[in-house]
Amino acid sequence: MNYLDETLNIDTPENVAFGYNIAGIGSRFLAALTDTFFIFIIELLVLLPVLFFLGSQTVAENLTTWVMALLSLLAFVFFWGYYIFFELIWNGQSPGKRIIGLRVVRRDGTPVTFSEVLIRNLLRIIDLLPTGYGIGLIVMFIDSQSRRLGDMAAGTLVVHDRGPLSLEALAPVESPVTVSNLSNESMPLALERLRRQDLQLIEDYWQRRAGLANRELLAGQILKKLYEQNGLRFENSSDTADETLVRLANAARLAISEKERK
């Protein structure tokens, strides 16, 4: 059983380990409650005028039946469309999740795509049975990562969001080693031109990158800073700034490792 938030450790292809704090039932319940309130307000604003109109007019019985059926369909669309829409445009967050500080990610820690968002939310109808997320709550209590059926089918997790990080907020990482007289022509910057604090900045970004909502923007800021202090002009190539910085970090770690073996 999983009553409290747990940590999921993920090893990336670059041999970097990072952790996610998995959201427990309590925080997910608060997010769902907040979203339910917003959905109720939206439906009220849209459907109430129609219901008021029907109540104040003499409408044929068969027409009233069709209108009520249409309103029920709209309520269904609002409920499922709400989650799908916001989790797509907000990278795994609905308004409730954003307020509580949660985010949906894939099990490997990468951002969710349309297919994962669609699957996890279409299966919400099963998690809701028989009422009030009955099945979903039972499954979440049993599962070690607090996943409901929709998460299991989509291969997703709900984690605590680390939020955007600024360049100034990156704290230096204490490291007992330095890099000097090392170069790699395939890298955008020669490693011997990087200062100790530059390597610490790259290392800290590398360790935090998987949980950053503004990863690409921050990577671009770091690269621009490194280029400018070395008298170079920063221009993005076909690689993204994040990929370029990861390659640079890989080269630095490899160089340090080789130097320590000598």
Q: Are residues 107 and 237 in the same domain?
A: no
pLDDT tens readout for residues 96-150? 999 999 999 888 777 899 999 999 999 998 998 887 788 989 999 999 888 999 9
pTM metric for this prediction: 0.59
> Helices 215-229 & 196-208, crossing angle to 10 degrees?
170
Q: Is pLDDT above 60 for 187?
A: no
* Percent of all residues in the chain with a pLDDT value above 90, rounded to a whole number: 25
Do 205 and 147 share a domain, yes or no?
no
Let me know whether 237 and 218 are in one domain. yes
Least confident of 10-19, 48-57, 74-83, 231-240: 10-19
Q: Which of 81-85, 166-170, 219-223 has the weakest average pLDDT?
A: 166-170
Do 64 and 148 fall within a single domain? yes
Q: Is residue 108 part of a domain?
A: yes
Helix, strand, coil tally for the chain in percent (to 5) = 60, 10, 35
Instruction: Say which residue, 149 or 61, is predicted with more confidence.
Output: 149
Grouping H, G, I as helix, E, B as strand and the rest as coil, residue 9 is: strand
**Terminal Cα distance for the chain, rounded:** 49
Q: 213 and 91 in one domain?
A: no
Shared-domain flag, residues 171 and 194: yes
| 28 & 151 share domain | yes
CA pair distance 71, 73, nearest whole angstrom: 5
> Which among 209, 116, 129, 128 is positioned nearest to 157, based on CA atoms?
116
Number of domains in the chain: 2
Check whether residue 88 and residue 215 sit in a common domain: no
Task: Please tell me which of 62-66, 237-241, 249-253 the model is most confident about, judged by mean pLDDT.
Answer: 249-253
Instruction: Say if residue 60's pLDDT is above 70.
Output: no
- Is 211 among the domain residues? yes
Residue after which a domain boundary falls, among 125, 160, 195: 160
Average pLDDT, the chain: 75
Q: Write out the DSSP string of 105-142.
A: EETTSPBP-HHHHHHHHHTHHHHTTTTTTHHHHHHHHH
- Give the residue numbers spanning the domain of 207: 167-261
| Residues 14 and 76 occupy one common structural domain | yes
On whether residue 1 sits in a domain, the answer given is no
